[in-house]
Amino acid sequence: MIEKESFLNALKTRILLFDGAMGTEIQKYDPTPEDFPNNQDGFNDGLILTHPDWIKQIHRNYLDAGADCIETNSFGSNKIKLDEYGFGDQTIDFNKKIALLASEVCAEYSDTTRFVIGSMGPTGYLPSSDDPDLGQIPLDTIREAFELQAEGLILGGVDALLIETSQDILEVKLVIEACHNAMSKTGKKVAIISNTTLDQYGKMLLGTNIQSAYTTVSDMGIDVFGLNCSTGPIEMNPSVQWLDEQNEHNLLVVPNAGMPENQGGQAVYKMTPEKMADALGDFLNQYNKVRIIGGCCGTNPEHIKSLRRIIDEKAGSIKG
């Protein structure tokens, strides 16, 4: 049996393409409360128990569109979040199931190596904040919540752990520590991707700028630093430029399909697949350290198909 190429080795030789949004793809199934565990409407991660076939098909749709990497449907599966739905005591097994499902789908594709990325979204708390509702939670509680999640994802076979849509740099530090702890516990090393989420002015929710965010975590044993969500690619450009100038870590850029527009109380994203591909293609041409691109909110398999095309077209001119 040929040994699978490692995620980090692949990153050295080619640009890797992540998938797109999960939540909006789930909505295409028009779910009702009865579709979720214990009728808990909106418990998307819980579909691993009630509709794993939906999640498998969404993964397949992105792989068919050309994604090299699929994110596990575990964005809200740290222990703190799972406690809200009554599954906190099953955090390890819950995440293991989710990762195994994604691994099974990737195994269906033998044309090229596909990678499973363990998605780890925020707790909803802001440990740096003075707000009594958002900030007053023991740091050990946050760290443990993510350590259990990371352990399950690793046991389920992920190739990398992705800390994403991060609002508070202190929480990011705690998640990175949790990932290292989980690797020590399982005896298995996987890549760590540390993302932050910036507004259109280049700041995190509590005002941290890209320079401070990067400096805080860059020496913590991460393999990739990235930006995801909140804005489209255009708004990310100044921050990506600064990160590229540091010439240190490989970079991930996973924007939304433009800035959201409010239509009837709903966030609507209007950047077309072609425009998004052009914008991220420019990043690949301008910034040597950008090695991963993909889509966040408002993106679908058509966006990923366009990104695949732009990567393939530019493959000859991009430094490997």
Q: What pLDDT score does 1 carry?
A: 44
Percent residues over pLDDT 90 in the chain: 90
> pLDDT of 79-112, one tens digit each?
999 999 999 999 999 999 999 999 999 999 988 8
Strand-pairing partners, residue 254, are 228
> pLDDT of 265-299, one tens digit each?
888 999 999 999 999 999 999 999 999 999 999 99
Q: What pLDDT score does 157 carry?
A: 98
User: At residue 51, does pLDDT exceed 50?
Assistant: yes
- The SS3 of residue 254 is strand
275's tokens: 């425009």
Fold of the domain spanning 7-314: TIM Barrel (3.20.20)
Q: What is the DSSP letter of 293?
A: E
> pLDDT of 31-50, one tens digit each?
999 999 999 999 999 999 99
- The SS3 of residue 72 is coil
Strand-pairing partners, residue 293, are 17, 253
Nearest to 102 by CA among 151, 69, 135, 142: 69
User: Rounded distance, CA 157 to CA 118, Å?
Assistant: 9
Q: What pLDDT score does 88 carry?
A: 98
User: Rounded distance, CA 297 to CA 122, Å?
Assistant: 16
Buried b (16+ CB within 10 A) or exposed e, 244-269: beeeebbbbbbbbbbbbeeeeeeeeb
User: At residue 221, does pLDDT exceed 90?
Assistant: yes
What's the mean per-residue pLDDT of the chain?
Answer: 95
User: At residue 218, does pLDDT exceed 90?
Assistant: yes
Contacts of 198 (CB under 8 A, 6+ apart): 204, 210, 227, 230, 231, 235, 236, 239
> pLDDT of 125-144, one tens digit each?
999 998 887 778 999 999 99
Whether 261 contacts 228, CB under 8 Å: no
User: Rounded distance, CA 6 to CA 3, Å?
Assistant: 9
User: At residue 257, does pLDDT exceed 70?
Assistant: yes
